Amino acid sequence: MSEVREKAQLAKQTAAVLGKLTTNEKNKALLEMADALIARAGDIIEANADDLRRGKENGTSSSLLDRLALNEERIRGIAEGLRQIVELPDPIGDTLETIERPNGLHIVKKRVPIGVIGIIYEARPNVTVDAAGLCLKTGNAVVLRGGSSALSSNRKIVEVLHEAMERTALPAASLQLIEDANRSSVDEMLKLNGLLDVIIPRGGSSLIQNVVMNSTVPVIETGAGICHTYIDESAQPDMAAAISLNAKVQRPSVCNAMETLLVHEAFAKSHLHSLAEAFKERNVELRGCARTLSYAPWAREASSEDYATEYNDYILNVKIVDDLDQALAHIAEYGTKHSECIVTENGQNAERFLQEVDAAAVYHNASTRFTDGFEFGFGAEIGISTQKLHARGPMGLPALTSSKYVIIGSGQIRE
């Protein structure tokens, strides 16, 4: 039997036990795991050094090496993340609905774990701990397949977590790491219907698209974000500048950062030149429509490919539109249904934008950067869903649950 199938089976066998654990048992285990990470930080850093050495030999970029690198402080941060998950309310067992039927049937809809969750991700060893913590807190078993460039780190981290779990009620087998670094192990996970209940991809768009297009296991699509900010005619200039600058430069590498600024032509006449200067000062490269270039002559002309690109970088498309309709049409064409914002003082336009834009999060007068589990008050998140089924937007613990109807009768039969 392949490693993938064997480990998925081992994970699945723990599902019944996991579903019965109390919140207290799960929390104790997570705390034990957090302590173990800190106690064994030295070993983890040593294993991580192997990955870094290999990465350097293979010419990995310095930004990727930075994401991969672990040190004492980062490990403390990762352990702290587990402790934060302990603080979150446990959704398992919650009553979602109670129905009393005329025939005396008593129906309760309860939250239950999903079962076995597959996570496919890249070279970020923090995801290993993070995903494990969120899945286990919700009573799910988890099969992790991280990027091969972090394999040595992930192996050591999981070894440390397993040792900690052995001292708790949480079965160690409920956390599985696929060590097969071949692409074929991902392909196999995508076809494990009956063993995996869902696959959540975390990473860049090519990883996500591979999972979406090839998985026969249900997928929760996360992450891709071509987010827009539309500055309407009536926008307060200072607010419009603050929101759009924040949406672009506060952290350009993330999915809720803005990629394209849409500007009403009347606003552009009075304010686009100074706004463009402000982006320039912050080292943002501008790619503009023909009209934009007259306000920012240093900008390069934007192609339709640019409008369809998630830069995750200090690059911004700027397009001048005649009205709200054109802004809505542009977003419908190029948006990825993640986060979209209108800055306006016109209530009617705001309402239309919030109603008509089809996205997980639609904003009036606030930065798209708020689309985030912590910022919404959910605590840690497993990702931001850009699909419409099951969960949409930031996914906290409830997104990792399913439900079950429990029906209590006294001999009822159907007439």
Task: Tell whether residue 361 is a contact of its own copies (CB under 8 A).
Answer: yes
Which residue from 76, 210, 354, 379 is in contact with its own copies, where contact means CB under 8 A? 354
Helix H or strand E encompassing 290: helix 290-295
Tell the smallest beta-carbon distance from residue 323 to its own copies (Å).
Answer: 16
For its own copies (CB under 8 A), the number of binding residues is 68
CA distances from 88 to 15, 61, 95, 373 (A): 21, 36, 17, 12
Please identify which residue in 70, 198, 227, 321 interacts with its own copies, judged by CB under 8 A. 198
Residues in the chain: 415
- Nearby residues of 320 by Cβ (< 8 Å), 6 or more positions away: 262, 263, 264, 265, 268, 272, 289, 291, 292
- Nearest CB to its own copies, comparing residues 41 and 116: 116
Instruction: Tell me which residues in 116-175 interact with its own copies (CB under 8 A).
Output: none
- Least separation in angstroms between residue 50's CB and its own copies is 36
d(CA 130, CA 67): 15
Among 57, 213, 283, 304, binds its own copies (CB under 8 A): 213
Residue 212 engages its own copies in binding (rule: CB under 8 A): yes
By CB under 8 A, tell whether 408 contacts its own copies: yes
- Give pairs for 47-52: CB < 8 Å, separation 24+: 47/152, 47/153, 47/155, 47/156, 47/157, 48/125, 48/152, 48/153, 48/156, 50/152, 50/153, 51/123, 51/149, 51/150, 51/151, 51/152, 51/153
304 binds its own copies (CB under 8 A): no
State the CB neighbour count (10 A cutoff) for residue 254: 15
Q: Is 278 in the site for its own copies (CB under 8 A)?
A: no
- Residue 182 binds its own copies (CB under 8 A): no
Alpha carbons 176 and 162: distance in angstroms, whole number: 9
Cα maximum dimension of the chain: 79
We find the least distance from the C-beta atom of residue 103 to its own copies, in angstroms, to be: 9
Does residue 101 bind its own copies (CB under 8 A)? yes
Query: Is 284 an interacting residue with respect to its own copies (CB under 8 A)?
Result: no
Distance in angstroms between the alpha carbons of the first and the last residue of the chain: 49
173/162 Cα distance (integer angstroms) = 8
Residue 98 touching its own copies (CB under 8 A): no
Region binding its own copies by CB under 8 A among candidate stretches 16-24, 69-77, 160-168, 179-187: 16-24
**Residue 193 sits in the site that holds its own copies (CB under 8 A):** yes
**Interacting residue ranges for its own copies, rule: CB under 8 A:** 15-16, 19-20, 99, 101, 105, 107, 112, 114-115, 193, 197-198, 212-214, 216, 218-220, 236, 239, 242-243, 245-247, 250, 332, 354-356, 358-367, 369-371, 375-377, 387-390, 392-393, 402-414
